[in-house]
Amino acid sequence: MELITPGLGLIFWMTLVFLALLFLLKKFAWLPILKMLKDREDAITDALSSADKAKEEMKQLQFSNEQLLAEAKNERDSILNEARKIKEKIIEEARLKAGEEAGNIMASALENIRNEKMAALTELKNEVGELSLEIATKILQRELSDPKKQEEFARQLLKEIKLN
Amino acid sequence: MLKMRRHFQSFAKFSYRGIILISLFFFFHGITSFAAVQENVSLVPATDSAFAKEAKEKKAEGFNAGDMIMEHVVDNHEWHILEIGNFKLSIPLPVILYYDGNLYSFSSSRFHNEEHSYKGFSLPEEGPGKGRIVRTAAMPGGPKVYDFSITKTVLAIFISAFIMLFVFISVARAYKRNLNKAPKGMQSMLEPLIIFVRDDIAKSSIGEKNYEKYMPYLLTIFFFIFLNNVLGIIPIFPGGANVTGNIAVTMVMAVFTFILTTVNGNKHYWVDIINTPGVPWWLKLPIPLMPIVEIIGVITKPFVLMVRLFANMAAGHIIALGFVSLIFIFGAMNVVLGYGVSVGAVAFMIFMNLLELLVAFIQAYVFTLLSALYFGLATIEPEHH
């Protein structure tokens, strides 16, 4: 067989085998392999992009979390402030009220005292009146004749009254 | 011999490419021939059975390197595996003949007789018609013998086709099994090559739009050429057959590329051939000079594909065998000289084999790339001005 003259039989077999090989490989190997390679590449691209998206979302989430936290902090601070204010107000009010009450109590005590004093004075006056009357009676009963003695006596009596 | 010289010249042109295949081939032959040499030393030296392995090629006056090399490079009706002394191991292959309306089929071992003939057909072992089955007493102008035998190359094609089917179908199964997962085993070995063919050959030459249609063909030729190139380097059965270094094989593949290019050529492609733009009108009318040149170009492209692959691979085998021959040529002069030369020859063969491994890949790549480029040229959309 010659080197550079193609043999008929070999051409025939080569064509036959090559066509069969092409057909079988196309159907059972190349198309499935190429399809799955493409699918896998797509899947990887998808996975990568979704991972990126997730990362972005996480970032967003973290950011909003931080924001939320800051807001909560602020709120807490403001609530605390308010509470403090209220507390102070309450204390202030209580203090004022207490002062007022104390004033009232004092006032009524003073009133009472005055009333009592007045009552006492009245009673005293009555007593003094009675005593004066009694004294007068006694003087009248005794030596009303002697004006000197009368006077002395009256003076003595008065002296006694003063001590009361 | 003149043809041989031409081949060596073509080898020199493609030097590094041609070199690789040869080396592996030679390596094994070197070893078997070594065994042969040893055997012969104990026997009577310089008898006609001296260098047993190539004894057949021996003419009365000695070893004929050219015949030995040619016999290994071209197709054969038997698959020689090894020969040591008088022990010969070869696989006889079926002969299928079509002659005068009848089909004949028998084992090629039937030709092993004095006349090298069987059932009126003969397979001459000498002379100009060597290796070609003819009708024994053929009349000039009589019916021709059409030889559809399962020759060594045909069997090698079958074997490589089965290997490819087995490997790639199991790889496809592996893809189904680990869907969308990282590749494993054989799959991960072949995936880079598949992706290489897809991205660096098909996509870049044909373009994103059309490339998918050609992928099965491109992958098939790439792996067919690559596998057969590599099998050609391996000297033991089932390797060692010179499949891609056979012009009929490369011709069939080149014709497929040509058919696909022609069938898929779009309007733009044909207009460019018939009425090439940017060329003065007097080159087209009245003598259609440019169209003729363009049509020659269309045919030249697959022709070049055919010759390039064939010449590279055949040259590779020839050079490897050339180194083996050196051992026998020197061995025939002096046994010690044969041993001495064998050291250098084996070293060169190893070097060549490594080079051939590179060539095996490069040639598969070049054939596939050029096919893809031709498809790309045929389907390119005209630029809008």
Whether residue B34 has pLDDT greater than 50 = no
Lookup: tokens for B347 = 């070293």
Residues B251 and B350 in one domain: yes
Chain A positions touching chain B (beta carbons under 8 Å): 1-15, 17-18, 20-22, 24-26, 28-34, 36-37, 39-40, 43
Query: What percentage of chain B carries pLDDT values higher than 70?
Result: 82
Residues B275 and B135 in one domain: no
Evaluate whether residue B32 is within a structural domain: no
Evaluate whether residue B233 is within a structural domain: yes
- Find the residue in B nearest to A15 (Cα): B252
Q: Which of B130, B215, B249 sits opposite A14 (nearest CB)?
A: B249
Task: Collect all residues of chain A within an 8 Å Cβ-Cβ radius of residue B194.
Answer: 33-34, 37
Task: Collect all residues of chain B within an 8 Å Cβ-Cβ radius of residue A4.
Answer: 3, 247, 310
Residues B170 and B262 in one domain: yes
Judged by average pLDDT, the poorest of B15-19, B134-138, B264-268, B281-285 is B15-19
Higher pLDDT, B43 or B346: B346
The bridge status of strand B134-135 relative to strand B87-92 is unpaired
What average pLDDT score do residues B96-109 get? 85
Residue B354 lies in domain: 152-379
Q: Which of B118, B147, B176 is the last residue of a domain?
A: B147
Residues B107 and B196 in one domain: no
Binned at pLDDT 50, 70 and 90, residue B234 comes out as confident
Binned at pLDDT 50, 70 and 90, residue A63 comes out as very high
Most confident of A14-23, A113-122, B206-215, B344-353: A14-23
Lookup: tokens for A125 = 């006056």
Evaluate whether residue B22 is within a structural domain: no
Task: Collect all residues of chain B within an 8 Å Cβ-Cβ radius of residue A43.
Answer: 180
Most confident of A14-18, A145-149, B26-30, B88-92: A14-18
Residues B256 and B285 in one domain: yes
Report the predicted TM-score, pTM, of the whole model to 2 decimal places: 0.71
Q: Which of B147, B164, B192 is the last residue of a domain?
A: B147
Binned at pLDDT 50, 70 and 90, residue B28 comes out as very low
pLDDT at residue A45, rounded to an integer? 93
Higher pLDDT, B56 or A9: A9
- Residue A24's Cβ-count burial label (10 Å; 0-12, 13-18, 19+) is middle
- CA pair distance B259, B241, nearest whole angstrom: 27
Ramachandran region of residue B376, left (φ > 0), alpha (ψ -120 to 50) or beta?
alpha
- Residue B167's Cβ-count burial label (10 Å; 0-12, 13-18, 19+) is middle
Which pLDDT tens digit goes with each residue over B112-160?
877 778 887 888 777 677 777 887 776 677 788 888 888 889 999 999 9
Task: Collect all residues of chain B within an 8 Å Cβ-Cβ radius of residue A26.
Answer: 216, 220
Residues B100 and B240 in one domain: no
Instruction: Return the DSSP state at B310.
Output: H
Average pLDDT, chain A: 88
- Could you tell me the residue ranges of all domains in chain A? 51-163
What average pLDDT score do residues B51-68 get? 55
pLDDT at residue B24, rounded to an integer? 37
Which pLDDT tens digit goes with each residue over A72-101?
999 999 999 999 999 999 999 999 999 999
Q: Which of A8, A11, A30 sits opposite B215 (nearest CB)?
A: A30
Most confident of A65-69, B30-34, B233-237: A65-69
For residue B82, what are the contacts with CB-CB under 8 A and spacing of at least 6? Answer: B32, B53, B88, B89
Evaluate whether residue B45 is within a structural domain: no
Alpha helices in chain B (DSSP H): 2-13, 15-42, 65-73, 152-177, 185-195, 204-206, 211-233, 247-264, 267-274, 289-333, 335-379
Residue A95 CB neighbour total at 10 angstroms: 10
On whether the CB atoms of residues B168 and A26 are closer than 8 A, the answer is no
* CA atoms within 13 Å, Cβ hemisphere of B84: 10
Q: Which of B158, B165, B180 sits opposite A43 (nearest CB)?
A: B180
- β partners of residue B97: B104, B147
On whether the CB atoms of residues B232 and B244 are closer than 8 A, the answer is yes
pLDDT at residue B20, rounded to an integer? 40
Rg (CA), chain A: 63
Judged by average pLDDT, the poorest of A144-148, B71-75, B174-178 is A144-148
Contact (CB<8Å) B248/A3: no
Residue B62 CB neighbour total at 10 angstroms: 16
Binned at pLDDT 50, 70 and 90, residue B167 comes out as very high
Higher pLDDT, A31 or B18: A31
Residues B156 and B143 in one domain: no
Query: What percentage of chain A carries pLDDT values higher than 70?
Result: 95
Higher pLDDT, B75 or B253: B253
Which pLDDT tens digit goes with each residue over B251-261?
999 999 999 99
Average pLDDT, chain B: 79
Q: Which of A3, A6, A21 sits opposite B70 (nearest CB)?
A: A3
Residues B138 and B181 in one domain: no
Per-residue 3-state assignment (H helix, E strand, C coil) for B64-127: CHHHHHHHHHCCCCEEEEEEECCEEEEEECEEEEEECCEEEEEEHHHHCCCCCEECCEECCCCC
Amino acid identity for residue A81 in this structure: N
Judged by average pLDDT, the poorest of A35-49, A98-112, B33-47, B351-365 is B33-47
Residues B142 and B174 in one domain: no
Work out how many domains chain B is built from and give that number.
Answer: 2
Evaluate whether residue B310 is within a structural domain: yes
What average pLDDT score do residues B291-296 get? 89
Evaluate whether residue B229 is within a structural domain: yes
Q: Which of B147, B166, B182 is the last residue of a domain?
A: B147
